Amino acid sequence: MEPSLRTQVLAPTDVSLLRGMLKMFGDAFQDPESYSHKPPSEAYLSKLLASETFLAVATIYHGQVVGGLAGYILPKFEQERSEFYIYDLAVAESFRRQGVATALFQCLQGVAAERGIYVIFVQADYGDDPAVELYTKLGTREDVMHFDIPPANGAA
């Protein structure tokens, strides 16, 4: 990874970086509507970054977010430990294949070890070969089924 790139866990004061991550996600996933249409308030994002159950890691190049992952710490009930679910992970197109995603994972793995998180898990879509290749390099594949179940009122 290029020396001018830095990877860090976002703190409650890093709302502008989280907003940059949201924009980068919208561009990378070709879905700006989901990531920019109804932007959360600064107070909401700051509270989210301060939460014990949310974590965001960003790679920054000259003040711009060029890679990021965001996910949720899931406290377990059967033992005093947690899992981490990566909800979103993306790297800006011009920074792919330069070690950015690996650096994001390495940062996350360090934080996970500090916080007693015993496993990190992530989903990949069929046909997303770069993601499958990365995750295969980093961990063990499980074939599972995923179901989306709406709440009682049908709103999602």
Structure tokens given for 43:
């107070």
Q: What 3 state SS string does 44-59 have?
A: HHHHHHHCCCEEEEEE
**CB of 96 closer than 8 Å to CB of 111:** no
Per the domain annotation, does 58 fall within a domain?
A: yes
Write down the pLDDT at residue 58: 98
Per the domain annotation, does 64 fall within a domain?
A: yes
| Residue-range definition of the domain harbouring residue 107 | 5-138
Can you give the pLDDT of all 156 residues of the chain as single tens digits? 666 899 999 999 999 999 999 999 999 999 999 999 999 999 999 999 999 999 999 999 999 999 999 999 999 999 999 999 999 999 999 999 999 999 999 999 999 999 989 999 977 777 777 777 777 677 777 777 777 777 887 665
- The count of structural domains within the chain is 1
Largest separation between any pair of C-alpha atoms in the chain: 50
Q: Which amino acid is at 155?
A: A
Question: CA-CA distance, 156 to 148, in Å (whole number)?
Answer: 10
pTM: 0.85
Per the domain annotation, does 154 fall within a domain?
A: no
Per the domain annotation, does 123 fall within a domain?
A: yes
Write down the pLDDT at residue 75: 95
In angstroms, how far is CA 18 from the centroid of its own chain?
A: 11
